């Protein structure tokens, strides 16, 4: 909405009169366009994190460590050899932990 800054400002009396006119045009008992939902209906449609998954079964394929991988001694993530930053006393550290 464009605003004309050169136009004269309305007085408090004019503003109050306009406000009163708007209130009389739309009575307070009239319903608004907002739809009321039952909170329990909405709550049932959401799946919360940490929900009970005891009945679920996961299938995960565990692979042995590959020749080009190592386990970081700091974060314990399996990384590719290209991520090796330092090896000290047989312990290997990735670039993220050394950076």
| Tens-binned pLDDT, residue by residue, of the chain (99 aa) | 677 777 777 788 887 777 767 666 655 555 556 666 667 777 677 777 777 777 888 899 988 889 999 999 999 999 999 999 999 999 999 999 987
Count Cα neighbours of 74 within 13 Å in the Cβ-side half-sphere.
13
Euclidean distance between CA atoms 26 and 21, whole angstroms: 9
> Structure pTM?
0.41
Question: Which of 68, 78, 72, 69 shows the shortest CA–CA distance to 93?
Answer: 72
Cβ within 8 Å of residue 3, ≥6 positions away: none
């Amino acid at each position: 909405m464009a605003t004309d800054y050169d136009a004269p400002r309305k007085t408090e009396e004019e503003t109050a009169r306009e406000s009163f006119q708007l209130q009389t045009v739309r009575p307070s008992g009239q319903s608004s366009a907002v739809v009321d939902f039952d909170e329990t209906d909405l709550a049932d449609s959401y799946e919360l994190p940490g929900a009970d998954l005891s009945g679920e079964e996961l299938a995960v394929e565990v692979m042995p460590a590959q020749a080009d991988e190592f386990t970081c001694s700091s974060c314990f993530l399996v990384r590719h050899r290209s991520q090796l930053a330092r090896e000290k006393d047989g312990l290997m550290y990735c670039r993220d932990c050394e950076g």
